[in-house]
Amino acid sequence: MIIGGKNFDTANHTYIMGILNVTPDSFSDGGKFNGMDAAIAHAHQMVEEGVDIIDVGGESTRPGHIQITDEEEIARVTPIIEVLKKEFDVPVSIDTYKSHVAEAALQAGADLVNDIWGLKYDKKMASVIAKYQAACCLMHNREKAEYQDFLKDFMDDMKECVRLAKAAGIEDDKIILDPGVGFGKTYEMNLEIIDKMEILNELGYPVLLGTSRKSVIGLTLDLPVTQREEGTMVTTVYGVQKGCAFVRVHDVEKNKRAIQMTKAIMRGHEV
């Protein structure tokens, strides 16, 4: 899989997508990197720690978030993307579900569109991605956590995301799937899909796991956002064991070490 001119061996490696929120109200680091200097400094740190993709978000998608206009979101993300592409040799992702924002970000140099609605929110999103021949990450989501048969319904939803992508002309080697932990699911459903995420493998696309600091970890461990690092790393290790090609995290260095250690144990050994 080629993203931003970089070759990703998704069958044999687990890569890190580092989160760069340039929002004042992100659930985990709201306002912390809401400014050019702070954002670029954080990106520099992630690059030094070995990040593989930098995911730029201009609107919080936490539960109860306030939607902003396309224009405001574009104003937040495009200057950051332009600088990232000039200063670092790392692919850049835009975290948005709006086609106008995605197109502006792609024009600014973004290489991948990370859509939390899996092409279902904005009917123009799939065609924009196809137009720029960009990679995309399609996440599972629902407005309400209501299912007849959770895993079957989940897979039907993901198949629809793929159908929308294919209908728009997005190539197979440009598609990543995300089970959508924390979106449109109950606490138990979130645990279930982490445990059963390998069912996505039957669709034949690389899988991205995004659990970093999320409520499923906070509820399990009864910990605030600032103390969910270890819980996140456990899910990263679990993702590696399940064959995930990408993990989307806030803490690059520690999760990269966890991946490296897990891979060392899993590989064949001559004793």
Residue 30's CATH number: 3.20.20.20
Sign of CA dihedral 81, 165, 69, 103: positive
Which amino acid makes up residue 86? K
Domain membership flag for residue 147 = yes
Domain that holds residue 169: 1-264
| 78: helix, strand or coil | helix
Domain membership flag for residue 271 = no
Q: How many structural domains are present in the chain?
A: 1
Q: What is the pLDDT of residue 34?
A: 56
Sign of CA dihedral 250, 252, 253, 255: positive
Q: What is the pLDDT of residue 65?
A: 67
Domain membership flag for residue 269 = no
Burial class, 22, CB count within 10 angstroms (exposed 0-12 / middle 13-18 / buried 19+): buried
Domain membership flag for residue 169 = yes
Contacts of 221 (CB under 8 A, 6+ apart): 227, 228, 231
Q: What is the pLDDT of residue 24?
A: 74
| 175: helix, strand or coil | strand
Catalytic-residue membership of 163: no
Domain membership flag for residue 109 = yes
Q: What is the pLDDT of residue 198?
A: 96
Domain membership flag for residue 184 = yes
**C-alpha span between 136 and 129 (Å, rounded):** 7
Average pLDDT per consecutive 10 residues, the chain (271 residues; last block may be shorter): 97 97 63 74 97 95 78 96 97 98 98 98 98 98 97 98 98 98 98 98 97 97 96 98 98 98 91 81
Domain membership flag for residue 270 = no
- Catalytic-labelled residue, pool 76, 242, 248, 256: 248
- Catalytic-labelled residue, pool 214, 228, 242, 256: 214
Contacts of 271 (CB under 8 A, 6+ apart): none
State how beta strands 135-139 and 208-209 pair. unpaired
Catalytic-residue membership of 213: no
Q: What is the pLDDT of residue 233?
A: 98
